[in-house]
């Protein structure tokens, strides 16, 4: 550890002021990036989380060292880590196609709280380095992640009159590295035979030709019709 901070690791008025202001700076640095991207938890939220975690960490240390109370120093910090889950959960939402948004913001809030605990404990070096890494992850890594291509899920509406036809479709999807994430079946009577309809939500693991898939499925025994009803 850096020796220049040795005089600020005890709980004194000066170290308390420095730790709280450092919590504001580090939490605000992460919060500015989130506010710039118009995320649910922004500048003020990250500052409040970091300050709260810092004061909780300092309170545990103060009660043990200054007040001489038989308490666990890490107990308050552990409760902060648990409580951050409720705050972060409020930023996570499910949007169209069951896509999840807000996970990065929730993880940033959690990391911001941990950084606050480090500041409150006097671990200044770790807090500053962690803040830098969080900012790098939320900015530069975000650009890198956007360049990674994803195979979007799509839905196939299938009509068939032979129950073995569905097994054939599912076997075909498995053999071609396509995951069926959802399946909804409805049956209806049509004239003197039973016709079944099923909507398959398929997520391919590699690049595919959707039209070729539909053509193949339509050629299976017992399949009446197949078409793509939803997908990118």
Alpha-carbon gap, residue 153 to 220, rounded angstroms:
22
Domain 154-231, CATH among 3.30.70.1150, 3.40.50.300, 3.40.50.1370, 3.30.70.3420 = 3.30.70.1150
Q: What is the pLDDT of residue 193?
A: 65
224 close to 218: Cβ distance less than 8 angstroms: no
Digitized pLDDT (tens) for each residue of the chain, 232 residues in all:
777 777 777 888 899 999 999 999 999 999 888 888 777 778 888 999 999 999 999 998 888 888 888 777 888 888 888 888 888 777 777 666 566 778 888 888 899 999 999 999 999 999 999 999 999 988 887 777 666 666 777 888 888 888 788 888 888 888 888 888 788 877 665 566 678 888 888 888 777 788 888 888 888 888 888 888 765 4
Residue 1 CB: number of other CB atoms within 10 A? 11
What ranges do the domains of the chain cover?
A: 3-146, 154-231
What are the strands, taking DSSP E only, across 47-192?
A: 93-94, 100-101, 154-160, 178-190
């Amino acid at each position: 550890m850096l020796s220049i901070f040795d005089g600020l690791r005890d709980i004194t008025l000066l170290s308390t002021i420095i730790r709280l202001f450092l919590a504001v700076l580090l939490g605000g640095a992460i919060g500015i990036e989130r506010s710039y991207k118009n995320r649910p938890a922004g500048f003020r939220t990250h500052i409040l989380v970091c300050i709260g975690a810092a004061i909780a960490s300092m309170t545990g240390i103060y009660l043990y060292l200054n007040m001489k109370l038989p308490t666990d120093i890490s107990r308050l910090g552990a409760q902060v880590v648990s409580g951050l889950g409720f705050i972060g959960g409020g930023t996570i939402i499910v949007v169209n196609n069951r896509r999840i948004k807000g996970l990065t913001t929730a993880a940033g809030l959690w990391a911001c709280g941990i950084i606050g605990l480090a500041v409150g404990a006097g671990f200044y070096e770790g807090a500053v380095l962690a803040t830098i890494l969080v900012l790098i992850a939320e900015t530069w890594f975000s650009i890198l992640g956007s360049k990674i291509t994803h195979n979007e899920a799509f839905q196939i509406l299938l009509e068939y009159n032979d129950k073995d036809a569905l097994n054939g479709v599912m076997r075909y999807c498995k053999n071609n590295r396509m995951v069926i994430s959802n399946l909804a079946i409805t049956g209806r009577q049509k004239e003197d035979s039973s016709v079944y309809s099923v909507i398959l939500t398929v997520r391919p693991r590699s690049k595919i030709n959707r039209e070729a898939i539909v053509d193949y499925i339509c050629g299976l025994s017992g399949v009446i019709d197949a078409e793509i009803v939803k997908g990118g």
